[in-house]
Amino acid sequence: MSEALAAVLLLGGSFFMLVASIGLIRLPDVYCRMHAATKATTFGMGGILLGASLIFQNAAVTTQALLAIFFLFLTAPVAAHLISRAAYKRGPDLCAETTHDEYGKYLEGQKAEEESPERYGDA
């Protein structure tokens, strides 16, 4: 029973990893690709690790798997956040299909504020 469940988890996890890789190729720009990279890998990796801990049924392995999942979920979004932020500030543009870009407006507003002399009252 637990072996069947472990098999399902391992296969499901690998399937999500595959979907993440396909998404990485198919999606049009950096930001969309980050969606595929963060979500499917955390989920896929989580499934694989849980499956592994089910097979071994050993306190040490289970703890290691749970800690790995915990830190994966802690670090993946931070990496995605930094990569997409850095990409926006100095790299490739948003893809042509993009409909809203409020962040660009915010950055422009910030820039204008820094450059405007009125901010300091004189000059």
Partner 1 sequence: MPLATLAFTIATIWIFLHGSATPGHFFVGLVMAFFIIRFLKKSYYQDRTFFRIGSYFRYLRSFTWELLIANVQVLKIVLSPRLSIRPGIIPYKTVCKTPLGVTMLANSITLTPGTLSIDVSDDDETIFVHTLDIDHPDEVAEGIRKGLEEPIVGAVE
By CB under 8 A, is residue 85 in contact with partner 1? yes
Stretch that binds partner 1, among 2-10, 17-25, 115-123 (CB under 8 A): 17-25
Among 63, 93, 112, 116, binds partner 1 (CB under 8 A): 63
CA–CA separation, 79 and 34 (whole Å): 10
Among 8, 110, 111, 112, binds partner 1 (CB under 8 A): 110
By CB under 8 A, is residue 68 in contact with partner 1? no
CA–CA separation, 22 and 10 (whole Å): 19
CA distances from 120 to 11, 23, 75, 77, 106 (A): 61, 48, 40, 38, 21
By CB under 8 A, is residue 31 in contact with partner 1? yes
CA–CA separation, 59 and 73 (whole Å): 21
By CB under 8 A, is residue 98 in contact with partner 1? yes
For binding to partner 1 (CB under 8 A), which residues are involved? 16, 19, 22-23, 26-29, 31-32, 34-36, 38-40, 42-43, 58-60, 62-64, 67, 73-74, 76-78, 80-81, 84-85, 88, 94-95, 97-104, 106, 110
